Each structure stands twice: as C-alpha cells, then as structure tokens.
C-alpha cells in the first residue's frame, strides 16, 4: 500500500484501514473478481466498528462482533454446525504451539499457564486444560452467551472442574488484571481467529504483551488479505457453501503475515528476528480437514507465533 508500512497499518482504526485496503484492492483487482464482487454486493461496505469504551486503556470490544457471535453460541459445540471448521482446526493449534516451544527446547515443559483470548465456547481452552503439561487455563471472551455455553460444557468433564484448571471470564482483555511480577505471566497467550475482528490490532497486541512471561509465546491464527482469501472465505465459505454464517469475516480486516512480523519487530521485548518468529500456512481440504501447506500463509489461513525475550 503506497502510504502505509505494514506495522503502521495495524495501528490505524478499522474504518481508515478499510478505506486504504479498498482503494488498493480496486487498483489491483482483476476485472473478473471485481465483477463478481459487485454482483454479490462485496465491493467493500464495511461494518460499523464502534468500539465500546470501558476504562483506560480503551476496550477492544466491538459491539457488532459481540452481537454476531452471540447468535452463534448455541451451535458452538456442534461438530457439524457453524463452528465445524474451528473444531477441525484445533489439533493443528496444538501442533503449532509445540513447534514454537520446540525452537527453544520447551516442548516437554510442564506446569504451563495459558491465557486464551477470545475463547468463544471453549474449544481450544478445554483441550489445553486437559493436557498433562498444563497447570491452568484462563479463558476470556466479551460475548456473554458463548461464555455461558463454555461454562455449561465445562461441567461435562470433572477434570475441568478442578480448582484453577480452567477459568472462564466474561470481559475484555483490558479488564484482566496484570501479572504482579514478570514471572507470574503466562507461558502461552493464544489468539485464535481473533485479531481480524479487532478494530485497532497494534495497540491491542501491544497491551497483550504485558501478560506474557519472559520466554513465553504469543500464538495466534488469522487470514492473509488476498484475492484468494476473499474467494475462499467470503465467496465460497459464506455465500456458496454456507460453511460459516454470512458476515463472519470482514475481508479488509485480514492481516498479512508481513504486517504481523513488522509489528513484532518494532516491539523491543519480542524476539521476532530469528527462531523467535514462527509461521505456518494451513489450507482446508474438503473431506480431509485442515492441512499444513508450506507457503500458503502468503495467501490464506495461517498460524503465527512470536516469543517474548527471556531478558524481559
């Protein structure tokens, strides 16, 4: 984009980023793609990203997104429902976490503390809490209905009811108390399918870093902003196959892996230059599920991980 570096783009409000992306998209889109978008009403009409304000720092909670996911709450644990792709992706989440930990010899560590941000109905949070290597999981989400579903499903497994093993909280990350000391931070802070729903990613991400202990990891997943991802996630998944509800994604809010890494490199406490930065592209194959495809992070879904320097 002509006037915005990758990291500075993440700092802009959603409405401004949408305008920049839309302008760039119109300049580069092929006539066929532009025609298809116009026919389906997809020449970008952005949602209203009105951010609710709580206490400082400004809340990342988006009332529109909360309302949208409230309507999906009842289907969260239906493996064939609107969250089917999330259920299928969950094993790869753990695979990627272990890959990140292995870069510094931490794949066999125990007593890990997780913070799962935007936990939804608890698909990842529950699976992490069941691991023998886990000490505790705190899972936060601002959507009341999905937290209610998560707590209800938690009661099915007595292991998850052990004190301190899995705790759900219905609020934004800004309302979570900060660690009292660096060592009290989390080993893993996860952001799965969340960042593309945040109005201003840069300050949101920077705020999260306060919760990671030195040597810990910020690990997430999102979608690259390309014509391929528009076709697969918006046109095919939402409009044709109806694999996810219409309006789940906003294409202009997708984030390139180069933008994510550029942001990470500007954060002094992160080790984003060497093996402290990890990325893995994944592709959904009908009938087979999610599969790692090297290089696909440049045009579709991907996992990213960045390590907080041990010196901090």
Buried b (16+ CB within 10 A) or exposed e, 195-222: bbbbbbbbebbbbbbebbbebbbbbbbb
Residue 107 assigned to a binding site: no
Residue 204 assigned to a binding site: no
Q: What CA–CA distance (Å, rounded) separates 161 from 164? A: 8
Residue 93 assigned to a binding site: yes
Give SS3 for 11.
helix
Residue 186 assigned to a binding site: no
**What residues pair up with 277 in beta bridges, in sequence order?**
306
Residue 175 assigned to a binding site: no
Lookup: tokens for 193:
């399918």
Q: Which ranges of the chain does DSSP label H, i.e. alpha helix?
A: 6-11, 14-28, 31-39, 63-70, 84-102, 123-129, 144-154, 201-208, 227-229, 257-266
Establish whether the linkage from the previous residue to 57 is cis, with ω within 30° of 0: yes
Residue 300 assigned to a binding site: no
Q: What CA–CA distance (Å, rounded) separates 106 from 235? A: 40
- The closest alpha carbon to 220, from 196, 201, 193, belongs to 193
Residue 247 assigned to a binding site: no
Residues in binding site for S-adenosyl-L-methionine: 93, 118, 141, 192
Annotated binding site for Mg(2+): 193, 196-197
Binding residues: 93, 118, 141, 192-193, 196-197
């Amino acid at each position: 984009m002509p006037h915005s570096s990758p990291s500075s783009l993440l700092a802009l409000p959603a409405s401004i980023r949408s305008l920049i992306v839309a302008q760039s998209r119109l300049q580069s889109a092929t006539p066929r793609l532009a025609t298809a978008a116009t026919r389906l009403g997809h020449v970008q009409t952005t949602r209203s990203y009105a951010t609710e304000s709580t206490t400082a720092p400004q809340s990342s909670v988006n009332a529109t997104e909360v309302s949208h996911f409230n309507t999906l709450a009842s289907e969260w644990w239906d493996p064939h429902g609107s969250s089917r792709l999330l259920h299928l992706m969950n094993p790869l989440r753990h695979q990627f976490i272990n890959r990140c930990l292995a870069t510094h010899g931490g794949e066999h560590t125990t007593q890990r503390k997780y913070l799962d941000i935007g936990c939804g109905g608890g698909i990842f949070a529950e699976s992490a809490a069941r691991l023998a290597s886990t000490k505790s999981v705190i899972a936060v989400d601002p959507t009341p209905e999905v937290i209610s579903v998560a707590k209800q499903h938690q009661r099915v497994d007595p292991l998850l009811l052990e004190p301190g093993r899995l705790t759900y909280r219905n609020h934004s990350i800004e309302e979570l108390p900060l660690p009292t000391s660096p060592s009290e931070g989390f080993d893993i802070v996860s952001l799965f399918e969340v960042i593309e729903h945040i109005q201003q990613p840069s300050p949101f991400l920077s705020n999260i870093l306060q919760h990671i202990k030195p040597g810990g990891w910020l690990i997430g997943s999102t979608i690259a902003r390309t014509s391929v991802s528009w076709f697969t996630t918006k046109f095919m998944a939402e409009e044709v196959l109806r694999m996810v509800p219409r309006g789940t994604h906003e294409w202009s809010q997708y984030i390139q892996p180069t933008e994510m890494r550029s942001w990470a490199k500007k954060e002094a406490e992160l080790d984003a230059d060497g093996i402290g930065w990890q990325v893995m592209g994944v592709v959904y194959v009908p009938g087979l599920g999610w599969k790692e495809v090297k290089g696909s992070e440049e045009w579709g879904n991907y996992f990213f991980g960045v390590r907080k320097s041990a010196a901090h």
